[in-house]
Amino acid sequence: MAQDKLWGGRFSQPTDKFVEEFTASIAFDQRMYRYDIQGSIAHARMLAKQSIISAADAEQIISGLEGILADIEAENFDFKVSLEDIHMNIEARLIERIGPVGGKLHTARSRNDQVALDVRLYLRDELQAIAVYLDALQQALLDQAEANLAVIMPGYTHLQTAQPVLFAHHLLAYYEMFRRDAGRLADVAKRLDELPLGAGALAGTTFPIDREYVAEQLGFAGVTRNSLDTVSDRDFAIEFCAAASILMMHLSRLSEELILWSSADFNFVELSDAFCTGSSIMPQKKNPDVPELVRGKTGRVYGNLMSLLTLMKSLPLAYNKDMQEDKEPLFDTIDTVKGSLKIFADMIAKLRVKAENMRTAAARGYSTATDVADYVVRKGLPFRQAHEVVGKTVRYCVETGKDIPELSLAEFQQFSPLIEADIYDFVTLEASVNARRATGGTAREAVEREIRRARQERQAKS
């Protein structure tokens, strides 16, 4: 052998040093070590069960692998760039530890199906971790909603005051988005749930393996059905990055609102000091760094999705080395989503709500104009005419500097004789909000119903 390579037999010259570095993935794929070892142990057990290797050899291999796992966890393992990736680093170390019998581990297997397995196992665990963080954020939103059920804020369209809504209703809008995100991530986990090992390099293997047995050991629901597809499929990673992109888009929108709301101009909420920084020059400033960064990091998660889609778009079957480039975007997405969710759950839980300011803002901007229109519609006027009546009323308010609830009955009646003294029961903020009682509306009773429902759904899940 011209070098320490496990595949060195065919080669007469060593790899160029820079080429070695350029082609290596050990710097980033070492984070999958646990899954590589877990997969190898299951594989070795199967080889013995099928009498492809002896039980004694399997035992040696397995205890060797367990020793390596302990070494890596104890940070007592020297990852070598010359050994290219995590798979060969571990295999080479195994042979070093237990001798030539270690070389039997790779029977009936290829790095192509091995890496497909490792990435799936890794992502499967990370999906669970992400689900826990996402759940904590949903919990924080529900708690804040419940704690602020009496708080009314302006609801916006076009960022113009539209109609008053409960702050709790606004928070629950995000709860819904994250509920769908959780569903999408659970879907990713479902489709990921097939064992790739056994596909070999691309065509399957000549050894009498038992894939179902390996699947069972590793907790997969089944096995993949086509070896060529198995070693060239990265759909699961792309699907995850797509679901993560949507999730980050939601976090980014919430970030944007928190940034607006915590500005002096809105002044609706205050972020805890723990999530802000000061300015090096302007002493009065408290910058919403965390939501700004989450908004910014959304861009890199989108970028990762684009990287993976572009990486895969023209690859012929089956494995191509290009696919080694799948890991960094995937890992970066996992880290970014986890970090963002973790920090957000805490930030939402510690949000200080400035109820009075929200209420004052909600009362501005003629936010109950639609309620006056609905009122005259109930008295029999077609909605289009009602719209006209209230349009004129608002213009009068603008000209006279009055707000809708401040108009006298005579002033109201200039615009429609249908308006009577009970109009004042409909134009307060509370009346406006609480009139929207149908499922999904902002009335307090409707919002309380949704909080209860969400809590029940969560209880049923856990």
Active site residues: 158, 279
Scanning 111-119, 180-188, 254-262, 291-299 for contacts with ligand ARG by CB under 6 A, the matching segment is 111-119
Scanning 93-101, 208-216, 262-270, 316-324 for contacts with ligand ARG by CB under 6 A, the matching segment is 316-324
36 C-beta neighbours (distance < 10 Å), count: 27
Choice between 200 and 441, CB closer to ligand ARG: 200
Q: Does 194 interact with ligand ARG (rule: CB under 6 A)?
A: no
Closest separation in Å from C-beta 30 to ligand ARG: 11
Scanning 8-16, 109-117, 147-155, 329-337 for contacts with ligand ARG by CB under 6 A, the matching segment is 109-117
In angstroms, rounded to a whole number, what is the distance separating the alpha carbons of residues 104 and 107? 6
Shortest CA distance to 181 belongs to which of 337, 344, 345, 351? 337
Closest separation in Å from C-beta 352 to ligand ARG: 47
Cα-based torsion angle of the residue sequence 267, 156, 346, 265 in order, rounded to the nearest 10 degrees: -20
Work out the angle at residue 90's Cα, subtended by the Cα atoms of residues 83 and 52, and round it to the nearest 5 degrees: 115
Answer for the pair 35, 118: CB distance below 8 angstroms, yes or no: yes
Answer for the pair 32, 119: CB distance below 8 angstroms, yes or no: yes
Q: Does 432 interact with ligand ARG (rule: CB under 6 A)?
A: no
Choice between 111 and 436, CB closer to ligand ARG: 111
| Site mask for ligand ARG (CB under 6 A), range 30-69, x = bound | ----------------------------------------
Choice between 334 and 347, CB closer to ligand ARG: 334
Among residues 174, 240, 302, 319, which is the contact residue for ligand ARG, using CB under 6 A?
319
Closest separation in Å from C-beta 43 to ligand ARG: 15
Choice between 98 and 119, CB closer to ligand ARG: 119
Scanning 317-325, 343-351, 420-428, 435-443 for contacts with ligand ARG by CB under 6 A, the matching segment is 317-325
Closest separation in Å from C-beta 41 to ligand ARG: 19
* Lookup: tokens for 444: 């307090």
Scanning 179-187, 286-294, 315-323, 438-446 for contacts with ligand ARG by CB under 6 A, the matching segment is 315-323
- Please tell me the count of residues contacting ligand ARG according to CB under 6 A: 10
Scanning 107-115, 346-354, 388-396, 425-433 for contacts with ligand ARG by CB under 6 A, the matching segment is 107-115
Shortest CA distance to 332 belongs to which of 216, 204, 457, 237? 237
Closest separation in Å from C-beta 155 to ligand ARG: 49
Shortest CA distance to 188 belongs to which of 112, 246, 254, 250? 246
In angstroms, rounded to a whole number, what is the distance separating the alpha carbons of residues 138 and 180? 11
Instruction: Name residue, tokens 């939601």.
Output: 250
Among residues 52, 185, 251, 323, which is the contact residue for ligand ARG, using CB under 6 A?
323
Q: Does 182 interact with ligand ARG (rule: CB under 6 A)?
A: no
Which 356-415 positions form the footprint of ligand ARG (CB under 6 A)?
Answer: none
Closest separation in Å from C-beta 327 to ligand ARG: 6
The torsion angles phi and psi of 165, rounded to 5 degrees, stand at: -135, 165
Closest separation in Å from C-beta 227 to ligand ARG: 14
| Site mask for ligand ARG (CB under 6 A), range 8-37, x = bound | -----------------x---x--------
Q: Does 115 interact with ligand ARG (rule: CB under 6 A)?
A: yes
In angstroms, rounded to a whole number, what is the distance separating the alpha carbons of residues 44 and 37? 10
In angstroms, rounded to a whole number, what is the distance separating the alpha carbons of residues 39 and 87? 11
| Site mask for ligand ARG (CB under 6 A), range 70-89, x = bound | ---------------x----
Among residues 43, 104, 109, 111, which is the contact residue for ligand ARG, using CB under 6 A?
111
| Site mask for ligand ARG (CB under 6 A), range 269-308, x = bound | ----------------------------------------
Q: Does 112 interact with ligand ARG (rule: CB under 6 A)?
A: yes
Residues that bind ligand ARG (CB under 6 A): 25, 29, 85, 111-112, 115, 319, 321, 323-324
